[in-house]
Amino acid sequence: MSDNMTLHLKIWRQPRGEKKGQMISYTAKDVNPDMSFLEMLDVLNEELIKKGELPVEFDSDCREGICGTCGQVIAGVAHGPKKAIATCQLHMRNFNDGDTITVEPFRAKAFPVIKDLVIDRSAFDRIIAKGGYISVNTGSAPEANSVPVGRDVAETAMDAAACIGCGACVAACPNASASLFVGAKVSQYALMPQGHPERKIRLRKMSSQMDAEGFGDCSNHGECQAVCPEEISITTIGRMRREFIRALFP
């Protein structure tokens, strides 16, 4: 007897541009529990193409939980019901035969829908362009021990740097805040000595761009931390706020 499942999907379909979208129902049959969620969508799209219908547009690249491009709101949760994974790491064994699953794009004013489940995340790129880097002189790399960094500091900075910029934090936040993303990027540099010279101007520029993009304010719901595939802590938001206070003074 086959262990394959039949699933009922309600997927957001929206034409390109600013045209209105709607949820469309599909039935996915013979779904192997070992398929990833994206593989299941691939199979669905193959069936749609055979029928002469338009496939469901969605983003993906590495399919290894590294790049963050595959984000979708699945069953009401950014990246789906399993914790600390990206959408591409979600497997169909996390669902039951006969389940009805809603699939939507990440929704935020700053993340306009391009088509179906594909959104424009370039707002994150513009925030990074404002200060998500350090300025260094070119030339050979300095000797590794010339700038000593404590282990705890280094590990905390690396934890923040693990952010893949997927946008799940924005999708989960009732205010569509990007504070966890910006907090992580600010933290990874503010903690390390190489990032200290530009820490004030970095914070001012990145926070100003975050506001200009239309992201909301953080009100400490904690939903961002709950859905983050890299489990970035909301302590990075607290650090960003402290850096903001520091940036107010010469």
Whether residues 91 and 160 share a domain: the answer is: no
Whether residues 69 and 101 share a domain: the answer is: yes
pLDDT on residue 96: 97
- Concatenating the DSSP letter of every residue in 180-216 gives HHHHHHHHHHHSSGGGGGGHHHHHHHHHHHHHHTT-B
Residue 1: pLDDT over 60 = no
pLDDT on residue 221: 94
Whether residues 131 and 52 share a domain: the answer is: no
Whether residues 156 and 73 share a domain: the answer is: no
pLDDT on residue 203: 92
Residue 191: pLDDT over 80 = yes
Q: Model confidence at 85, in pLDDT bands (50, 70, 90)?
A: very high
Q: What is the mean pLDDT of residues 180-190?
A: 96
Whether residues 138 and 235 share a domain: the answer is: yes
Q: What is the mean pLDDT of residues 9-23?
A: 91
Q: Which CATH number goes with the domain that contains 77?
A: 3.10.20.30
Tell me if residue 125 falls in helix, strand or coil.
helix
Whether residues 83 and 159 share a domain: the answer is: no
pLDDT on residue 137: 76
Whether residues 107 and 225 share a domain: the answer is: no
- Which of 192-201, 209-218, 233-242 has the least mean pLDDT? 192-201
Q: Model confidence at 247, in pLDDT bands (50, 70, 90)?
A: confident
Share of the chain above pLDDT 70, in %: 98
Residue 113: pLDDT over 50 = yes
Distance CA 174, CA 78 (A): 12
Burial 34-67 (b: 16+ CB within 10 A, else e): ebbbbbbbebbbeeeeeeeeeebbbbbeebebeb
Q: What is the mean pLDDT of residues 174-199?
A: 95
pLDDT per residue as tens digits for the range 151-178? 999 999 999 999 999 999 999 999 999 9
Q: Which CATH number goes with the domain that contains 134?
A: 1.10.1060.10
Final residue in a domain of this structure, among 114, 145, 177? 114
**Comparing C-alpha atoms, which of 168, 165, 163 is closest to residue 74?**
168
Residue 243: pLDDT over 80 = yes
Whether residues 197 and 131 share a domain: the answer is: yes
Residue 56: pLDDT over 50 = yes
Share of the chain above pLDDT 90, in %: 88
Q: Model confidence at 75, in pLDDT bands (50, 70, 90)?
A: very high
Final residue in a domain of this structure, among 75, 94, 114? 114
Domain count, the chain: 2
Whether residues 215 and 232 share a domain: the answer is: yes
Chain centroid to CA 126: 15
Domain that holds residue 62: 5-114
